[in-house]
Chains A and B, each alone.
Chain A
Amino acid sequence: MKKGRGTAYYTLGALPGIAILLVLFIIPLAFNFSYAFSDGGRAFEEVFTDPYTYRLLLFTLEESLLSAIISVLAALPIAAFFARYSFPGRRAVLTLSGLAFTIPTILVVLGFVIWYGNNGFLNALLMRITGRDYSLLSILYSFKAIILAHVYLNFPIAFLLIANAWTELPDTPEKAAYTLGAGRLRTFAKVTLPRLLPSVLSAFILIFLFCFSSFSIILVLGGSPAYSTLETEIYRRVHTSVDREGAAALSLFAFAVTGAMLILTSRGRKASKASRHSRELVKAKGRSLLAAAILMLLVLLFILPPMLSIVYRAFFTKAGDFTLRAWEDIAKGSTGLMSTALNGIINSFLIALSSSLAAVGIGSRSAAGSAKRNSVVLPVLSSMPMATGSVTLGLGFSLLAVTLGSSSLLLSYLLVWAAHLTIVLPFAVRTITPGAKAIPDSLSLSAYTLGISEGRTWRKVESPLLAPYRRRAFAFAFALSLGEVNATLTLSEGHVSTLPVLIYRMIGSYNYQGAAALGTLLLAEALIIFAIGEGGRRNAVS
C-alpha cells in the first residue's frame, strides 16, 4: 500500500492507542526494572547466574515443546481427513473447535480436576465398570496432567488452523502430480506437505508460545514446585516468598527470552494468501462415513466430558444428589469465598466489558492508522505486551501499587483494569488490522475524489467495513479478559476478585461445588461471547 495523501488524519487517530500501549506497557516494565536493580543489581545478577533459572527455562521449554508437538501431531491426521471428506457434522466440529480460543484456561483446570481427578468422574465411572474400589487412573498433579491439559486446550486450535488451511489449498497440484504418475505418498511428501508446512508451523509456534506462558494449568494441575515454569515461579516469589526483587529480576529474564522467541518466530510466519479455488471435498460414504463418525466421536469424547462435568457438578453433589446449594450460596453471598462470588461475577463482567470496549474503540483507530501508513512500529509495539507475559505485567502493576503506597480499592480496580486493557488491546489491534488492510486504497481515494473529507470517509465508508472485525475483536478481547487469571492474581492480592480468580481459589480450598457453579457461569458467558464472535467472523470472511 502506498503512503498516499491524507494519512495525517489516520496517524492522529492512531496515536491514543499507541500512547496507551506505550504507557501501559512501559510503566509495569519500568517498575520491574527498578525493583530488579533496587539492591544494586544483585537480584538481577543472581537470576542470570543462578542455575535454577536455567532449570526453570529448560522445564518451560520442555513442557511447551512437548505440548505443541503432541497437539500438532494429533491434529494432522484428523485435519487430513477433514480436508478430504465432507460429511454431516463437519462444519459443526470445525466451528466448535474455535471455542478453544474462547474457553478460559481456568475452566480446563476445573474440568480436569472434576473429570480426571483421583476422585473424579472418570475414575468413578471406571470403578463402577470394573467393580474395583480404588481409583484406577492417577493423572492429576503430574507432568502428564500438564501436557494433557495443554493438548486438550490446543489440539482443537491446531486442528482448526491446519484443517482450514488444508481445505483452502487447491488440490490441482496434487491432481497434476497424479497425472504425472506420482503415487499418493510421494505426492503428499513432495507436493502437499511443502505447501501445508507454513500453516503447520504457525500453529506449532502459536501453541508453543501459549504453553510457554501457561500459568494456572501448571500451578494447579502440576501441583508441585518441581513443575515450575518461569511464569509460575515469578508468581511464587511474589506471593510465597515475598521476594519482589527476585520476582522482578526473573520477570526481566522471562521478558528477554520471550521477546527473543517472538522475534525469531515472527520471521518465519508469513501469512500465505488465501487462494480463490479451494478444493472439492469428497462426499463421505460407506467406510469413510463410518470413519468420520468415529473420528468425531473420539474428538468429542476427549473435548466434552471435562466441560460437561463442570455443569453437572454445579447441580449435583459428588454422590450424585441434586442440589442447588452452591447457587444459593452465590445468591445469598454466604460465608467464605462464596461471600464475594456475586461481586466476582459482576467484577468479571464489568472489567471484561469495559476493557474490551475500550480496546476495540482505541484499537480500530490504531489498526486503521497502521494499515494506512503500512507501519511497522505498531505491530511490534502491540506484540510487546505478549512478550512480557501477563504475570510480569501484573507484577509490574502491583509494584506500582506498592510504590504508590495506597491500598484503596479504587486503585486496585484501576490497576486490574489497566492490566486487562494492556493484555487485551494488542489482540484487538491484531484482529482488526487485517480488516483495515483489506480495505482497498481506491475505495478511500474514490471518496476523496468526490470531495469527501478523511473524517467522513472514515465514519461512513471505512469504519462500517471494519464492523465484523470489531465484533470479532470484541469477542476475543472479552473472552481474554474474562478468563484472565495470571495478571489479576499476581496484582490484586485479594482486593479484586474476578470469576476465574475465585474459581482458582475455590479449587485450592476443595470447594468443587462452588467452583463448578461459577465455572458454569463462566462457561455460559464464554459460549455467548463465542457466538457473538462467530457471527462477526462469518461476516468478516465474506
Chain B
Amino acid sequence: MPFLEINDLEKVYKDFTLSASLSVEEGEMLCIIGPSGSGKSTLLSLIAGLESPDGGTIVLDGTDITSKRIQERGIGMVFQDFTLFPSMNVQKNIEFGMKAPKGERKKTTEALLSLVGLEGYGKRSVTSLSGGEAQRVQLARALAAEPRVLLLDEPLSALDAPLRKSIRSAIRAIHDTLGITMLYVTHDREEAFAISDSILIMNGGKCVAKGSAEELYRHPKDLFTAFFTGEGTAIPATLVYEGMDGMLFFRPEDAILSEEPVDPEMYPVHIVLGGAEILSAEFTGSGYMLGIDYQGYPLLVHSATKPRRRTVSVMILRESALNIS
C-alpha cells in the first residue's frame, strides 16, 4: 500500500476545479510540475490542510487525514515566501515546532542548521538573512517538527539561478540523508529533472502523467507531457504514414540533418523529410537549434554544426518518432 494516497480529491472554485488522484511511496521524492494555474499549489494546500477539499480522501500511512486539523496531520510545509517569524531569531524559529525534548533542543537545532549548511546561524535575526538563507532556515524549521511528509511549494522560485542550483542539491541530499517523503512543487522543469525520483505533471487541475524524468521525457504518453518536458516537433502522422491518425513527435536531438539530397530507399529505418528549408539558427552552446520549414510545418532540429545550405533533408529514426495524440 502506498504511503500517501490521494483519492479523487476535489476542490471547486468559481473558474477552476481541481480533481486529483495519486499515490506516493514512503521516502519518495515527487516533483509536481505544470503551468501556472494548473493546481499544483492547491493540491499541496489540500494535503497540508490549509484548505478543505470538496470531495475525496487523503490517506497517510493507512490513516484518513482528510478532515484532521492542520496541526495534527504530521505534514510539514516549506512556503515560497518568507514565513520565518520575525519575533524570533533563527534558533527560536527552528525550536518553535520542535518535537525533540527540551534538553536536546539546542543540539538538534545545531544539527539541523549544519544539515542545511548554516552552522552558527542560531543567534542571527531572521530579518538579516538573505533569501537563500531564509529558505534554508525554513527547511530546518519544518524538519524540526519531524513531519511524516514534507511539502515544498516552489521554495526556490524567489531565488536567482546559481543559488537555486546549490540549494536544490542540498534539498536532495537532505532527502537522501533522512529518507523523508517529499512533495516538491516547482515550475522549473530542469529543477524537477535534477532532483526527483518521479515527476507528476499537472494541467488544468488534473494529474496528466506520472513517471520518472526519463520515462516522461523519452516516452511521453500525450502531447502536453511531451512539450512540457522538453522541446520537440509534432507533425501530422499522415505526412509519413498514410492513413495513420494523430501526430508524430520527436525531440530535436533525435533528428539528423543532411545537406546532400537523401534517397529514402537507402534509409529504411529513418523517416526522411526532403526539401526542407532552414529558417533560423540559434546558437545553443553545444550546437545549433534550427528552425526548419517542411511543407508548411515547423520542425525543430538540433545540429552540432552550422549548416551551409538553406535546403536540407531531415532524417529521424522511425523508432524515436512517437505516435501520440
Interface residues of A (CB under 8 A from B): 2, 4-6, 440, 442-443, 445-453, 460-461, 464-465
Contacts and interface: CB of A to CB of B under 8 A. Distances in A.
Contacts of A2: 51
24 contacts: A2-B51, A4-B50, A5-B51, A5-B69, A6-B70, A442-B79, A443-B83, A445-B70, A445-B83, A446-B83, A446-B138, A448-B71, A449-B75, A449-B76, A449-B145, A450-B96, A450-B142, A450-B145, A451-B71, A451-B99, A452-B71, A460-B88, A464-B86, A465-B87
B35 interface: no
B243 to A, nearest CB: 52
Contacts of A445: 48, 50, 70, 77, 79, 83
B85 A447 contact: yes
A452 B87 contact: no
A452 B99 CA distance: 11
B302 interface: no
B48, B72, B87, B88 — most chain A CB neighbours (10 Å): B87
Interface in B80-108: 80-81, 83, 85-88, 96-97, 99
B83 A5 contact: no
B85 A449 contact: no
A180 to B, nearest CB: 34
Interface of B is mostly: loop
A461 B84 CA distance: 9
A464 to B, nearest CB: 3
Given A2-B51, A6-B70, A452-B97, 18 more contacts: A5-B50, A5-B51, A442-B80, A442-B81, A443-B85, A446-B77, A446-B79, A446-B138, A446-B142, A448-B50, A448-B71, A449-B50, A449-B75, A449-B76, A450-B96, A451-B145, A453-B71, A460-B87
Nearest to B86: A465
A399 B165 CA distance: 72
B97 A464 contact: no
Contacts of B76: 449-450
Interface residues of B, number: 29
B141 interface: yes
B85 A450 contact: no
A5 to B, nearest CB: 6
A116 B145 CA distance: 68
Contacts of B70: 5-6, 445, 448-449
Contact of A449 (B52, B99, B142): B142
B39 interface: no
Given A440-B83, A442-B81, A449 B96 contact: no
B49 interface: yes
B4 to A, nearest CB: 15
A442 B144 CA distance: 18
Contacts of B80: 442
A4 B72 CA distance: 16
Contacts of A461: 85, 87
Contact of A4 (B51, B86, B141, B147): B51
Contacts of B97: 447, 450-452
Contacts of B138: 446
B67 to A, nearest CB: 10
A450 B141 contact: yes
A452 B50 CA distance: 13
Contact of B77 (A6, A440, A449, A452): A449
A452 B138 CA distance: 15
Nearest to A453: B71
A464 B71 contact: no
A527 to B, nearest CB: 30
A4 B51 CA distance: 6
Contacts of A448: 49-50, 69-71
A452 B88 CA distance: 15
A399 B88 CA distance: 51
Contacts of A440: 81, 83
Contacts of B147: 449
A2, A4, A440, A449 — most chain B CB neighbours (10 Å): A449
- What 6 pairs between A and B have smallest CB-CB spacing? A450-B97, A464-B87, A448-B70, A446-B83, A449-B77, A450-B145
Contacts of A447: 85, 96-97
A445 B142 CA distance: 12
Contacts of A4: 50-51
Interface in B39-74: 48-52, 69-72
Contacts of B77: 445-446, 449
A448 B81 CA distance: 16
A6 B73 CA distance: 14
Contacts of B99: 451
A135 B85 CA distance: 64
A447 B142 CA distance: 9
Contacts of A460: 85, 87-88, 96
Interface string B242-258: 00000000000000000
A442 B83 contact: yes
B236 to A, nearest CB: 45
Nearest to A446: B83
A451 B52 CA distance: 17
Contacts of B75: 449
Nearest to B150: A449
Contacts of A452: 71, 96-97
